[in-house]
Amino acid sequence: MASLSLPTLPLRTLASTSSASSYSSAPLLHCSVPARLSFYSSQRRTTCPKLRCSRQFTVTCGTAITEINETQFNDTVLKANRPVLVEFVANWCGPCRLISPAMESLAQEYEDRLTVVKIDHDANPRLIEEYKVYGLPTLILFKNGQEVPESRREGAITKVKLKDTTSIVSPALLLLCMNDNDVYTKL
């Protein structure tokens, strides 16, 4: 079966982990009505909302960011052979949900040069204490098993600000974008 490229439209949906609403992009179906997606797993099953239409679609969302825990942290982050951007989040954190689309977009854009992982604040207290995470969301860039100096960022941030030269995280990301291997290894 061939894959269709469908236009997207901002859509108000309910997040599975909280009662608050969040915004997401969802495909417009053939009948021009936005699909309602539930956020339970990386593969979402949806049905066209028009009653006369019974087509079903599978939509894959959020696959560029992997959620890890304390036991996976050592292998995934500290022993990684490329830079890893760690995002400390919580299900109840509004700003964490707010930056989720920007982080997903960033992970997809830099997937060949950067690994982006998500760590749940409530489920991983040892990591929260070890890395002194005081605010959420917190972004920390790791290279060669160590935190990159000046890479820590707390609070909500847009994708543009994340890549902007005035951002705290951006100098590291700008170096990642360059093709010069000498600059890349200095990270």
For the chain, list the domains and their CATH numbers: 8-60 (no CATH), 66-185 (3.40.30.10)
Q: Which position has the higher pLDDT, 61 or 91?
A: 91
Check: CB of residue 8 under 8 Å from CB of residue 28.
yes
Check: CB of residue 33 under 8 Å from CB of residue 47.
no
pLDDT tens sequence across 65-118: 999 999 999 999 999 999 999 999 999 999 999 999 889 988 888 888 899 999
pLDDT tens sequence across 46-58: 445 544 555 554 3
Q: Give the Cα separation of 158 and 14 in Å (integer).
A: 21
Share of the chain above pLDDT 90, in %: 37
**DSSP assignments along 9-42, one per residue:** EEEEEEBTTSSSEEEEEEEB-TTS-BPP--BSSS
Check: CB of residue 154 under 8 Å from CB of residue 135.
yes
- Fill in the DSSP letter of residue 45: E
Residue 21's pLDDT band, with cuts at 50, 70 and 90, is very low
Q: Give the Cα separation of 97 and 22 in Å (integer).
A: 7
Report, as residue numbers or ranges, the catalytic residues: 93, 96
Check: CB of residue 121 under 8 Å from CB of residue 136.
yes
Residue 128's pLDDT band, with cuts at 50, 70 and 90, is very high
Token pair 């005081």 is at which residue? 134
Judge whether residue 186 has pLDDT over 70: no
Judge whether residue 130 has pLDDT over 90: yes
